[in-house]
Amino acid sequence: MANTMANRMSLKKPIYIEAHEKGLLKKKREDAFKLLKSCVLCPRQCKVDRLSGETGICKTGASAMVSSYDPHFGEEQPLVGRHGSGTIFFTHCNLLCIFCQNYDISHQGIGKTVSDRELSAMMLDLQHRGCHNINFVTPTHVVPQILSALGIAIEDGLSIPLVYNSGGYDSVHTLRILEGVIDIYMPDFKFWDSDIAQKTCDAEDYPDVARKGILEMHRQVGDLVMDDEGIAYRGLLLRHLVLPQGLAGTREIMRFIATRISTNTYVNIMAQYRPCGRAAEIPELAEALLARDFQAALTAAREEGIQRLDSRRRVFMLW
């Protein structure tokens, strides 16, 4: 019984603390910053010298930019709990969906440059305010900066789980640098069809990249695990935004999750699509989501064997 309790307590301890204590975090930070010299941090492979201020698709140089940070109560229940998920919204993005609901942040660059010390202070402030986790929103293009700030935050007492909340367009090489650092991976799996990915994000390889990345994330952290109060502390939580007229390829994505990852994967099928940004450039995306399309997506997920569907419905508009 004592050993079982000790193992449970060990699981609940954020994994980055051990990485820091063993000196691994410093090495990971160094490895990540090397990728910025001729940037290959993400699948875009821009190969610009971000350390010298050059920028590529993500329009971000050597320093991270943040648009906002606060306790957030609109996330999935296992992250929100009673006190909220401590979200840090990074400015810019490496994927740039034309229908992005945060278009002003991702495309227009609303936010401010922050130092490692300032980013660390944000993490600690969110912990002090009672948040259950630190939720990095759109972190793919600022992994080195996160690792750098994290080292400072740990020294100053950070001790809650880290959530990597990405669009799913992540390099496996970069994800492996994050092994032993991220407690909860929360990627989107946006599209199954490469033509749709090309039209909406100029990323024809997105489906293949997402499949490989999500497999790697699950290899690192496994299925989502929660404590006795239903708060997640380790594992994979996957998001999927339903698009009008089945453009997202929901059934194929759910089949992949069930057969290649786990039927026990915690999945949030989201109904809040609405035309934002440049969505009107694609006729099918110019209208809000129909209720029947969303219900069809839920049915497809269940029929393909997905057992853990998030019950919270963050719905803005269904027709």
pLDDT higher than threshold 90 for residue 317: no
pLDDT higher than threshold 50 for residue 315: no
Q: What is the pLDDT of residue 128?
A: 98
Look at residue 316 and tell me if it is in a domain: no
Look at residue 315 and tell me if it is in a domain: no
Low-confidence winner among 63-77, 152-166, 187-201, 299-313 (lowest mean pLDDT): 299-313
- When pLDDT is cut at 50, 70 and 90, the band that residue 1 belongs to is very low
Per-residue pLDDT of 203-228, as tens digits, reads: 999 999 999 999 999 999 999 999 99
Which residues span the domain enclosing 282? 2-309
Look at residue 75 and tell me if it is in a domain: yes
- When pLDDT is cut at 50, 70 and 90, the band that residue 312 belongs to is low
Which residue type is seen at 64?
A
Look at residue 211 and tell me if it is in a domain: yes
Look at residue 318 and tell me if it is in a domain: no
In percent, how much of the chain has pLDDT > 90?
Answer: 93
Q: Residues with Cβ < 8 Å from 319, sequence gap 6 or more?
A: 287, 288, 289, 290, 291
pLDDT higher than threshold 50 for residue 319: no
Q: What is the mean pLDDT of residues 86-91?
A: 98
Q: What is the pLDDT of residue 311?
A: 79
Q: Are strands 225-226 and 266-270 parallel, antiparallel or unpaired?
A: unpaired
Q: Residues with Cβ < 8 Å from 299, sequence gap 6 or more?
A: none
Rounded Cα distance, 218 and 239, in Å: 14
Look at residue 268 and tell me if it is in a domain: yes
Rounded Cα distance, 91 and 175, in Å: 20
**pTM across the whole model:** 0.94
Look at residue 249 and tell me if it is in a domain: yes
Pick the closest to residue 202 from 46, 88, 91 (CA basis): 46
Give CA torsion, residues 45, 90, 92, 209, to 10 deg: 40
Cα distances from 166 to residues 138, 147, 252, in angstroms, run: 5, 16, 20
Number of domains in the chain: 1
**CATH number of the domain bearing residue 289:** 3.20.20.70
Rounded Cα distance, 64 and 142, in Å: 6
pLDDT higher than threshold 60 for residue 313: no
Contacts of the segment 126-129: beta carbons below 8 A, 24+ positions apart: 126/69, 126/70, 126/71, 126/86, 126/88, 127/86, 127/157, 127/158, 127/159, 127/160, 129/71, 129/83, 129/84, 129/86
